[in-house]
Amino acid sequence: MFGMGHGVDMFINHAAHLLGLQLPAEASTPVAPGTEYASVRQLSEQMARPGGLTSAALVSYLHERIRKLDPALSTIIELNPQALDIARERDRERAAGRVRGPLHGIPVLLKDNIETGDTQQTSAGAYGLVGLSAARDAFIVERLRQQGAVILGKTNLTELAGFRGNADGLSQRGGQTRNPHHSDAPVGGSSSGSAAAVAAGLAPLAVGSETNGSIVVPAAFNGVVGFKPSVGLLSRSGIIPASHRQDTPGPMARSVFDTALLLNAMSGVDPQDSASMEAPQGIDYTALLKPGALRDKRIGYPATFCANGETLSVDNSAIFRRTLEVLRAQGAVLVPVNMRLADASRYDELLLADVKDELNTYLGKREGLPVKSVPELIAYNAKRDGTDTDHQPVLKDIDASTLTQQARKPLWDALIQDFRGTVDELIGEQKLDALVADFETNSYFAVAVAGYPGISVPSGQDEQGVPTSAYFFGARWSEPTLLAVAHGYEQAAQVAPRPRL
């Protein structure tokens, strides 16, 4: 963590960066207070009215809100200086009768490990990756632009997506992201900036990325919806990698419906990512988000966990018990299950070896950066940040890995298959449509290793006013049903925590 003096300097520098952006004001009808928490559908309806809200006015409104609030939150590393011009162009298209899709003119924030082929950096929060901008947009960014979205800027994150060894939400470039509900509350990692920015009403939508928990955890802590799709459903090309076996981008929003809209916009086959070739195509992920979606759905929940022949009972929280009551009241059939825990004893070893190979390859190909490899990045950090404390322990462990790709492939294959079995066995034996768990049980770990989909949905608040979350998950490619179940719960629970900023 930063000392007090360094932290204050970072705060001042971040505030000066945001305040220094001289963006012209829009001469239009004033944006109504509360618009920062409007849904995508509400924003689109307002934009469709003659003389109504414009994308340019919305972008200007959010810029002002960011300049006012974000110096205390550090959710955003960089604003896109082209955003207002892009918004004006989307407005001209709308006036001419051309609306590209449901996200036309809607601002979207991107995690700072997702490449944009513009003037913005793609640094994963690391000064060692600041240099020439990326040569082109990531595939999912291309899709967003084609759908008419306005890229508002880049969000802060745990540096190198957690693989430097910093505290959650901390990067050298972006400072320490704070939870907008409570400044001392956990913010989660590594897509912390994306989650906190959406929670604080700085943008309606954001994109995060996950290797293991990096979307669903910060979404849960910050009281928003975070969806990790099946690995391969969304392209990873143009995203700073960790492991192709687990990496995926994913949507973050304040509702399941908006999450599904963002998922729609980013979906598509990418020839540069072979995993995307296996994914189902042409699906409207909002299609099943209708009243009555929970009726007769068989939803399992862990009553016990089984590991190494020992069965452990689950002491579910009062908030999660209320989650189960809501599901039951909506007609769901709740099935208590004994969830087997797979052997994860070699997981860290395998993951860090993947990161070593994939990050070295990425840095070697990326033009115009001050480093070209993991060892060079370690040396750069030591020179810049000093060596009096070990501020990059995970990065050093990555560099020290010796497990070859040939040696780890069969180990990975067996591990993933074992973790997939923990979900597939339950779904098959109990004829389940989905599973739900108290977020505190960390069930997301097994789902991430399996490469399966999972979604965090706000479920309430604890005694300190910090959001709580329910975690829904299912089998590979079960996104339509999983989103429908999560949406049904969200609509019945009516939990939408807003921070007091």
Active site annotation includes 190: yes
- Over residues 37-76, the pLDDT tens digits come to 999 999 999 999 999 999 999 999 999 999 999 999 999 9
Give mean pLDDT, residues 306-325.
Answer: 92
- Cβ(244)–Cβ(289) under 8 Å? no
Q: Is 310 helix (H, G, I), strand (E, B) or coil?
A: strand
Smallest CA-to-CA distance from 202 within 25, 327, 77, 369 is with 77
Q: Are strands 434-438 and 310-313 parallel, antiparallel or unpaired?
A: unpaired
Classify residue 442 as left (phi > 0), alpha (psi -120 to 50) or beta.
Answer: left
Residues 6+ apart with CB under 8 A from 501: 69, 180, 200, 201
Largest Cα–Cα distance of the chain, in whole Å?
68
Task: Write down the catalytic residue from 123, 214, 401, 469.
Answer: 214
The 10s digit of each residue's pLDDT in 184-208 is 999 999 999 999 999 999 999 999 9
Residue 9: pLDDT band with limits 50, 70, 90:
very low
What is the structure's pLDDT at 3?
32
Nearest to 225 by CA among 423, 479, 472: 472
pLDDT of residue 28: 53
Walk me through the domains of the chain, giving residue ranges and CATH numbers: 4-25+43-223+234-266 (3.90.1300.10)
Instruction: Write out the two tokens for 193.
Output: 């900036």
| 111 catalytic per annotation | yes
CA atoms of 153 and 112, how far apart (whole Å): 9
**Mean of pLDDT values over 321-337:** 98
Work out the angle at residue 493's Cα, subtended by the Cα atoms of residues 492 and 496, and round it to the nearest 5 degrees: 120
What is the rounded average pLDDT for all residues in the chain?
A: 94
HEC string for 361-422: HHHHHCCCCCCCCHHHHHHHHHHHHCCCCCCCHHHHHHHHCCCCHHHHHHHHHHHHHHHHHH
What's the average model confidence in pLDDT over 230-251? 98
In whole angstroms, how far apart are CA 203 and each of 13, 75, 150, 227, 309? 22, 11, 11, 17, 47
Q: What is the pLDDT of residue 21?
A: 44
Q: Give the position of tokens 């706000």.
A: 458
CA gap 164, 389 in Å, rounded: 13
Per DSSP, 239 falls in state: B
Spatial CB neighbours of 93, under 8 Å, sequence gap ≥ 6: 99, 100, 104, 148
> What does the pLDDT look like over 101-111, one tens digit per residue?
999 999 999 99
Query: How far out from the chain centre does Cα 271 lie?
Result: 23
**DSSP structural state of residue 114:** B
pLDDT at 15 (0 to 100): 45
List b or e across 396-409, with b for residues whose CB sees 16 or more CB atoms inside 10 angstroms. bbbbebebeeeebe
Query: Considering 74, 123, 190, 235, which one is annotated as catalytic?
Result: 190
E-strand stretches of 146-222 = 150-155, 170-171, 175-176, 205-210
pLDDT number for residue 250: 98
The answer on pLDDT for 24 being more than 70 is: no
Q: How confident is the model at residue 29 (pLDDT cuts 50, 70, 90)?
A: low
Residue 480 DSSP label: H
Distance from C-alpha of 55 to C-alpha of 85, rounded to nearest angstrom: 10
Supply φ then ψ for residue 96, to 5 degrees: -90, 5
Share of the chain above pLDDT 70, in %: 94
- pLDDT for 138: 98
Average pLDDT over residues 455-474: 96
* 459 phi, psi to nearest 5 deg: -125, -5
Residues whose CB is less than 8 angstroms from the CB of residue 418 and which lie 6 or more positions away in sequence, other chains included: 342, 343
Catalytic option among 44, 55, 60, 111: 111
Residue type, 67: R
Instruction: Using the predicted structure, report yes or no on whether residue 2 has a pLDDT greater than 80.
Output: no
Arithmetic mean of pLDDT, 176-186 = 97
pLDDT of res. 308: 85
Per the annotation, the verdict on 214 as an active-site residue is yes
Q: Is residue 233 over pLDDT 60?
A: yes
Q: Is the pLDDT of residue 388 over 60?
A: yes
Contact 140, 95 (CB under 8 A): no
User: Is the four-CA dihedral 101, 215, 485, 221 of positive or negative sign?
Assistant: negative
Task: Read off the pLDDT band of 501 (50, 70, 90).
Answer: confident
**pLDDT band (50, 70, 90) for residue 18:** low
3-state secondary structure 7-59: HHHHHHHHHHHHHCCCCCCCCCCCCCCCHHHCCHHHHHHHHHCCCCCCHHHHH
164, 234, 150, 155: which is closest to 187 by C-alpha?
155
pLDDT number for residue 386: 95
* Cβ within 8 Å of residue 226, ≥6 positions away: 191, 195, 208, 215, 216, 217, 218, 219, 220, 250, 251, 252, 259, 455, 456
